[in-house]
């Protein structure tokens, strides 16, 4: 059994695990992310790899990092939260640990994990959306992760859904993630509480009477209890999510959308409005099949599982049936 290490580099924590060929995590370790210091982040990653390699016969390392990862699967071109610019992360970790290392965008790693071991196992053209603070994504077509020519495909959060709309951290205006993310959900609830405090009384009570103190956890809990204001917030965000999904369907015609990320912990509260809006906005909806919309299955550890499996595929060249594939790059799921 080929064991590999998967690492999920987040803004607050770095989590690593030893993963087998069935996507099962055998051991996990975590550290806080020293996000103010890129060099220290690399040192923490190397420490976690060495700690896991001391107890398991691992053969490769996969790292999922938020940002643009070059086609060489080693260089982080741009990581907004970690100040990496053209950083040869894979080479640095490989030199420090002596293990072949692959770097991948974190949403791509999550998409691969869901397509291989989670909700996307039965899909042919699978689009995975990671809805958290922003929106990330990944595309798996016929068992191949689509990365684009330069490695930065599926940055769905920066689709323009509202010309001259809200300013985005990427420098543009009207990006999708400004309307359909966890941050957008909180903004919607806070705005609602400010303009209609009576309607949003439950949300305000949960936040100590302050609209600016309302959090995503408050909104989800209130919606699960049936609060109309919280349900309205999920309806608005879900509608925006479905809006963008219909645009994506015009490009890729997927048979399956998977909604993951932190916001999907709300479950049907988000999936239902998103699926309804997607179907309502879909071009030619009365004359074509409609993609299924599912919730992700693997939870918070999907990035670890996906990164580890991509390292197995691309470094070791092991296809899913155990045979070798040329270059270890494109491996059909089967």
Tell me phi and psi for residue 268, to 5 degrees: -65, -20
The widest CA-to-CA distance across the chain, in whole angstroms, is 63
Q: Whose CA is closest to 254, among 134, 154, 168?
A: 154
pLDDT of residue 8: 96
Residues in the chain: 334
Q: Considering Cα of 155, then 150, then 113, then 139, what sign does the dihedral take?
A: positive
Name all domains of the chain by residue range, CATH numbers in brackets: 3-112+299-328 (3.30.420.40), 122-295 (3.30.420.40)
For residue 315, how many other CB atoms are within 10 A of its CB? 21
Specify the pTM: 0.90
Tokens of 322: 């155990």
Q: What is the pLDDT of residues 23-45, one digit of tens each?
A: 999 999 999 988 678 889 999 99
pLDDT of residue 159: 94
Confidence of residue 216 (pLDDT cuts 50, 70, 90): very high
pLDDT at residue 334 tops 60: no
pLDDT at residue 46 tops 60: yes
Q: Which residues face 294 on adjacent strands?
A: 258
The fraction of the chain above a pLDDT of 70, given in percent, is 95
Q: Whose CA is closest to 134, among 171, 183, 169, 167?
A: 183
| DSSP states of 221-264 | HHHHTT-HHHHHHHHHHHHHHHHHHHHHHHHH--SEEEEESGGG
CA 93 to chain centre: 23
Tokens of 117: 């071991």
pLDDT of residue 330: 38
Place of tokens 């990320």: 261
Confidence of residue 9 (pLDDT cuts 50, 70, 90): very high
pLDDT of residue 318: 57
| DSSP states of 45-105 | HHHHHHHHHTTS-EEEEEEEESSEE-TTSS-EEEETTTTEEEE-HHHHHHHHHSS-EEEEE
Class of residue 248 by CB neighbours under 10 A (exposed 0-12, middle 13-18, buried 19+): buried
- Rounded CA gap, 101 and 309, in Å? 12
Place of tokens 């999550």: 110
Least confidently predicted of 231-240, 294-303, 325-334: 325-334
- Rounded CA gap, 30 and 16, in Å? 6
Confidence of residue 315 (pLDDT cuts 50, 70, 90): confident
Are the CB atoms for 117 and 248 separated by under 8 Å? no
Least confidently predicted of 74-88, 197-211, 282-296, 299-313: 74-88
* Strand, coil or helix: 319: coil
Q: Whose CA is closest to 211, among 228, 229, 227, 235?
A: 229
The residues, any chain, with a CB within 8 Å of residue 98's CB and separated by 6 or more, are none
């Amino acid at each position: 059994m080929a064991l590999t290490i998967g690492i999920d580099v987040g803004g607050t924590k770095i989590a690593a695990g030893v993963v087998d060929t069935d996507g099962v995590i055998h051991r996990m370790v975590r550290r806080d992310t020293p996000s103010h210091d890129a060099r220290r982040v690399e040192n923490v990653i190397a420490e976690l790899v060495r700690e896991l390699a001391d107890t398991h016969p691992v053969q490769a390392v996969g790292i999922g990092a938020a940002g643009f990862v070059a086609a060489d699967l080693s260089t982080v071109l741009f990581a907004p939260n970690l100040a990496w610019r053209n950083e040869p992360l894979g080479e640095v970790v490989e030199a420090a640990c002596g293990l072949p290392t692959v770097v991948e965008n974190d949403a791509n790693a999550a998409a691969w994990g869901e397509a291989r071991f989670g909700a996307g196992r039965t899909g042919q053209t699978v689009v995975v959306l990671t809805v958290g603070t922003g929106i990330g994504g990944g595309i798996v077509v016929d068992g191949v992760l689509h990365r684009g020519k330069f490695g930065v495909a599926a940055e769905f959060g920066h689709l323009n859904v509202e010309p001259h709309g809200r300013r985005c951290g990427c420098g543009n205006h009207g990006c999708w993630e400004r309307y359909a993310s966890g941050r957008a959900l909180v903004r919607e609830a806070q705005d609602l509480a400010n303009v209609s405090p009576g309607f949003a009384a439950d949300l305000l009570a949960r936040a100590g009477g302050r609209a600016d103190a309302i959090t995503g956890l408050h909104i989800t809990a209130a919606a699960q209890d049936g609060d109309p204001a919280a349900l309205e917030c999920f309806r608005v965000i879900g509608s925006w999510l479905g809006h963008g999904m219909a645009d994506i369907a015009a490009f890729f015609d997927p048979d399956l959308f998977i909604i993951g990320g932190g916001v999907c912990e709300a479950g049907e509260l988000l999936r239902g409005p998103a699926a309804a809006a997607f179907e309502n906005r879909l071009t030619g909806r009365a004359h074509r099949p409609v993609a299924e919309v599912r919730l992700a299955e693997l939870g918070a550890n999907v990035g670890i599982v996906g990164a580890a499996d991509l390292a197995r595929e691309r470094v070791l060249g092991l296809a899913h049936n155990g045979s070798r594939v040329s270059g270890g790059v494109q491996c059909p799921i089967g």
